Structure 1
Amino acid sequence: MNYKMIVTDLDDTLLNSQGKISLKDKEAIMKAQEAGIIFVLASGRPTYAMRDLAKELNLAKYGSYILSYNGSIITNCKTNKNILEETLTRDEIHTLYDFSKRNNVEIITYLDDTIVSEDYSSYIEVEVDLTKMPFEKVKNFKATVDKDCVKCIMLEEPTYLSKVEKNLKDELGESFSIAISKPFFLEVTKLGVDKGSSLLKLAHMLNIKQDEIIVVGDSYNDLPMLKVAGLPACVENAKPEIKEICKFISTSNNNNGMANLIEKLIFKK
């Protein structure tokens, strides 16, 4: 198969434990783009927190893309324009806030390029560190969030958060797309929006067939895009449930997993 697109998750997939792209992975990605492969960064991260990585990989030069907020926004790196944007309404965000209070979990959202919450904890600090975005602790979440936003995250200790996930799906699963990314991040986007649905829209725009797409991931919020890929792949450190559905398992994110995949699947080495 002649693949035309590689789509990859960031944290624990493309990025190593230091949050960096290895030199070998970077060189392989450049080589693939030079050969005409469209490269897509697909993450739960905000667009703001992905731009430096896109710049590092020269995505603008090669006409590649960012798929951010778990698929809520797709950005054409060459034009720096959003070609898709799906948001939660203000009232939907307020509904999620009320749920978070009833279930004793923290909640954040993104107001323009600022993370907003009534709380601040070690879990929220992880998101602030990952995204490098400004954080604002507010007295009244509902009063502050007075317009549509792209995504909410509920945060808490993983064992408890998995119970909250079940409660959320039972109570509001017909109204939102819900997925665990990191064990302490429960991510909520507009109903029907996930990495998979947005990837299919992008592929349609570019006249790329599903069987011409390689997707690489490691965790549960990658499942929707892995399921629509021609070739679902993962890194060696992926969750067991992810490995079960993948046709190719690469080396780990700390052992040049992307370079190994590109060499084997694109350049047949």
Structure 2
Amino acid sequence: MKYKMIVTDLDDTLLNSQGKVSDKDKESIMKAQENGVIFVLASGRPTYAMRDLAQELKLDKFGSFILSYNGSIITNCKTGKNILEETLTKDEIHLLYDFSKNNNVEIITYLDDSIISEDYSSYIEVEVELTKMPFEKVKNFKAVVDKDCVKCIMLEEPEYLKQVEKKLNSELGNQFSIAISKPFFLEVTKLGVDKGSSLLKLANKLGIQQDEIIVVGDSYNDIPMLKVAGMPTCVENAKPEIKNICKFISTSNNNNGMTKIIENLIFKK
């Protein structure tokens, strides 16, 4: 099988514990792109927080793509243009805000390349550090969020957040796509939007078949794209539920996991 596309999650998958791509993995990614493989960064992160890495990996030079906000936006790195953009309406975001308040969890959204919330905590600080985006603490979330936005995240202690996830799915699961990414991040996007559905739209646009796609992940929000890939793979540090649906398990994100995937699935004779 000749694979034409590699799609990878970022945090705890492509990126090591220092938030970097190892030199060895970077070299392997370059080699794959030089041989015509399209490389896609697929993350819950905002586009803003993925641009530097896309430049570092020369995705613009090779015509590769960013799939950000859990699939809500797809960006062609060569042109810098979005080829897909799915948003939550202002009213939907306000509904999620009300749910968060009723269930004692923090909520953030993204407005004009800034993170918006009425709260600030160690969990929100993680997102600010990961994305390097400006943070704006506001007094009235609904008043400030006066237009459509791409997604929301609810944040709280992991065990409690699992309970909130169940309740959110029960009450509003028919209105939104809902997934835990990091244990303390509950991500909400437009109904029907996830990494898998958006990946299929991109592949269809490029004339790439599902069995020509390698996907690499580690966590729950990667499940939709792992399920649509011909070759679902994961890093060794992935959650057990993720390993159970993968055909190839690589080394960890701290041990050049991407290189092993590329060497074994792209270049192995």
User: The TM-score by the shorter chain falls in which range?
Assistant: over 0.9
- The residue that corresponds to 1:138 in the other structure is 138
Q: Say whether 1:204 aligns with 2:204.
A: yes
- The residue that corresponds to 2:80 in the other structure is 80
**Any idea what the Cα deviations from partners look like across 1:117-137, whole Å, max 9, x if unmatched?**
000000000000000000000
Q: Which amino acid aligns with 2:19?
A: G
1:252-263 to 2 correspondences below 5 Å: 252-263=252-263
Q: Which amino acid aligns with 2:94?
A: H
CA distance in 2: counterparts of 1:112 and 1:190, whole angstroms: 18
> CA offset at residue 79 of structure 1?
0.0
- The residue that corresponds to 1:150 in the other structure is 150
- The CA RMSD over aligned residues, in Å, is 0.4
- The residue that corresponds to 2:109 in the other structure is 109
For the residue of structure 2 that corresponds to 1:78, the secondary structure is: coil
For the residue of structure 2 that corresponds to 1:178, the secondary structure is: strand
TM-score normalised to structure 2 length:
1.00
CA distance in 2: counterparts of 1:229 and 1:45, whole angstroms: 21
Q: Which amino acid aligns with 1:41?
A: L
**Any idea what the Cα deviations from partners look like across 1:1-24, whole Å, max 9, x if unmatched?**
000000000000000000000000
Q: Say whether 1:126 aligns with 2:126.
A: yes
CA distance in 2: counterparts of 1:200 and 1:188, whole angstroms: 20
> CA offset at residue 61 of structure 1?
0.1
Q: Which amino acid aligns with 1:26?
A: K
1:223-242 to 2 correspondences below 5 Å: 223-242=223-242
Aligned length in residues = 269
> CA offset at residue 262 of structure 1?
0.3
Q: Which amino acid aligns with 1:67?
A: L
Q: Which amino acid aligns with 2:78?
A: K
CA distance in 1: counterparts of 2:143 and 2:230, whole angstroms: 45
Unaligned residue ranges in structure 2 (runs of 5+): none
CA distance in 2: counterparts of 1:196 and 1:260, whole angstroms: 23
TM-score normalised to structure 1 length:
1.00
CA distance in 1: counterparts of 2:200 and 2:150, whole angstroms: 19
- The residue that corresponds to 2:159 in the other structure is 159
CA distance in 2: counterparts of 1:30 and 1:145, whole angstroms: 40
> CA offset at residue 145 of structure 1?
0.1
CA distance in 2: counterparts of 1:222 and 1:161, whole angstroms: 18
- The residue that corresponds to 2:192 in the other structure is 192
**Any idea what the Cα deviations from partners look like across 1:100-119, whole Å, max 9, x if unmatched?**
00000000000010000000
1:23-62 to 2 correspondences below 5 Å: 23-62=23-62
**Any idea what the Cα deviations from partners look like across 1:120-179, whole Å, max 9, x if unmatched?**
000000000000000000000000000000000000000000000000000000000000
CA distance in 2: counterparts of 1:261 and 1:3, whole angstroms: 12
CA distance in 2: counterparts of 1:138 and 1:237, whole angstroms: 37
- The residue that corresponds to 1:15 in the other structure is 15
> CA offset at residue 238 of structure 1?
0.2
CA distance in 1: counterparts of 2:259 and 2:12, whole angstroms: 15
Q: Which amino acid aligns with 1:61?
A: K
Unaligned residue ranges in structure 1 (runs of 5+): none
- The residue that corresponds to 2:248 in the other structure is 248
Percentage of identical aligned residues? 86
Q: Which amino acid aligns with 2:42?
A: A
For the residue of structure 2 that corresponds to 1:245, the secondary structure is: coil
CA distance in 1: counterparts of 2:266 and 2:205, whole angstroms: 23
CA distance in 2: counterparts of 1:173 and 1:154, whole angstroms: 15
**Any idea what the Cα deviations from partners look like across 1:66-109, whole Å, max 9, x if unmatched?**
00000000000000000000000000000000000000000000
For the residue of structure 2 that corresponds to 1:201, the secondary structure is: helix
